[in-house]
Structure 1
Amino acid sequence: MTTTEQDRYLVADYDLPAMPCSVPARINPHYPTIRERHAAWSYKFLPVREPHKIPRGIAQLDALFDSLTFPDGMPDRIYHHLCLLSTLVDGDDLAQQDPLLYEQVVLEQYDDPYSRAFADAWQTIRENAPTKAVYQRIRDRWRFWLLAVQKEIEWSKAPNYDYEEMFSIRLQTVGMEPYFVVAEYVLDIDAGDVANDPDAIDAMTAASSYIICVNDIFSHRKECLHGDSMSTVSALRRIHGYSVQQAIDTLYTRMVDLDAKLSMLLAKLHERYTKHPLGERIHTYIDTYHAIVAGATQWHLETPRYNGVGYIWDGLRTRHITVETEMLPPHPLS
Structure 2
Amino acid sequence: MSQIALPKFHMPFRSAGCNPGIEETRQATWEWAESHDLVLSPTARKKMIRTRPELWISLIFPTASQQHLDLFCQWLFWAFLVDDEFDDGPAGRDPRMCETAIERLVDVLDGGPPRGPMERALAGLRDRTYLDRSTGWVRQFRRDTVAWLWTYYAEAVQRAAGQVLSRADFVKHRRDSVAMQPFLDLHEITAGIDLPESARSLPAYIALRNAVTDHSGLCNDICSFEKEALLGYEHNAVRIIQRDHGFTLQEAVDEAGKQLGETAERVRSAERELIEQMAAAGIEGPTRTALEQCVRDYRGLVRGDFDYHARAERYTRPDLVEVDERKTLSQFFAA
TM-score, normalising length: structure 1: 0.80
2:165 corresponds to which residue?
161
When residues 106 and 59 of structure 1 are mapped into structure 2, their CA distance, relative to the original with a 3 A threshold, is: farther
Provide Cα deviations, 1:257-301, integer angstroms capped at 9, x if missing partner. 221221132244356378432575542222222222111111111
CA distance in 2, matches of 1:47, 1:33: 19
Check if 1:63 corresponds to 2:54.
Answer: yes
Please point out which of 299, 305, 326 is paired with 1:290: 299
Preserved contact between residue 60 and residue 300 of structure 2 (Cα < 8 Å) = yes
**Matches of residues 10-49 of structure 1 in structure 2 within 5 Å?**
11=1, 13-26=3-16, 27-49=18-40
CA distance in 2, matches of 1:235, 1:287: 33
Preserved contact between residue 77 and residue 186 of structure 1 (Cα < 8 Å) = yes
2:131 corresponds to which residue?
127
Provide Cα deviations, 1:90-117, integer angstroms capped at 9, x if missing partner. 1222224242373333443652221221
2:323 corresponds to which residue?
none
CA distance in 1, matches of 2:2, 2:188: 44
The letter of the residue matching 1:242 is F
When residues 127 and 309 of structure 1 are mapped into structure 2, their CA distance, relative to the original with a 3 A threshold, is: same
Preserved contact between residue 195 and residue 290 of structure 2 (Cα < 8 Å) = no
Stretch deviating more after TM superposition (182-191 or 57-66): 57-66
CA distance in 2, matches of 1:74, 1:128: 17
2:286 corresponds to which residue?
277
Check if 1:201 corresponds to 2:219.
Answer: no
Aligned residue pairs, count = 300
When residues 42 and 308 of structure 1 are mapped into structure 2, their CA distance, relative to the original with a 3 A threshold, is: farther
Structure 2 residues not aligned, in runs of 5+: 92-96, 321-335
The letter of the residue matching 1:83 is Q
Preserved contact between residue 226 and residue 318 of structure 2 (Cα < 8 Å) = no
1:188 corresponds to which residue?
192
CA distance in 2, matches of 1:171, 1:52: 29
- Cα distance, 1:309 vs structure 2: 8.2
The letter of the residue matching 2:101 is Y
**Matches of residues 98-247 of structure 1 in structure 2 within 5 Å?**
98-99=90-91, 100=97, 102-103=101-102, 104-108=104-108, 111-129=115-133, 131-157=134-160, 158-192=162-196, 193-247=198-252
The letter of the residue matching 1:248 is V
The letter of the residue matching 2:306 is T
- Cα distance, 1:236 vs structure 2: 1.7
The letter of the residue matching 1:259 is A
The letter of the residue matching 1:70 is F
CA distance in 2, matches of 1:67, 1:32: 9
> What SS is found at the alignment partner of 1:111?
coil
- Cα distance, 1:31 vs structure 2: 2.4
When residues 24 and 263 of structure 1 are mapped into structure 2, their CA distance, relative to the original with a 3 A threshold, is: same
> What SS is found at the alignment partner of 1:89?
helix
> What SS is found at the alignment partner of 1:178?
helix
Structure 1 residues not aligned, in runs of 5+: 1-10, 312-334
Higher share of residues assigned helix? 2
1:97 corresponds to which residue?
89
Preserved contact between residue 84 and residue 122 of structure 1 (Cα < 8 Å) = no
Preserved contact between residue 19 and residue 62 of structure 2 (Cα < 8 Å) = yes
CA distance in 2, matches of 1:142, 1:205: 15
- Cα distance, 1:88 vs structure 2: 2.4
When residues 52 and 206 of structure 1 are mapped into structure 2, their CA distance, relative to the original with a 3 A threshold, is: closer
The letter of the residue matching 2:9 is M
TM-score, normalising length: structure 2: 0.80
The letter of the residue matching 2:14 is P
- Cα distance, 1:154 vs structure 2: 1.4
Preserved contact between residue 134 and residue 185 of structure 1 (Cα < 8 Å) = no
The letter of the residue matching 1:297 is F
Aligned CA-pair RMSD: 2.6
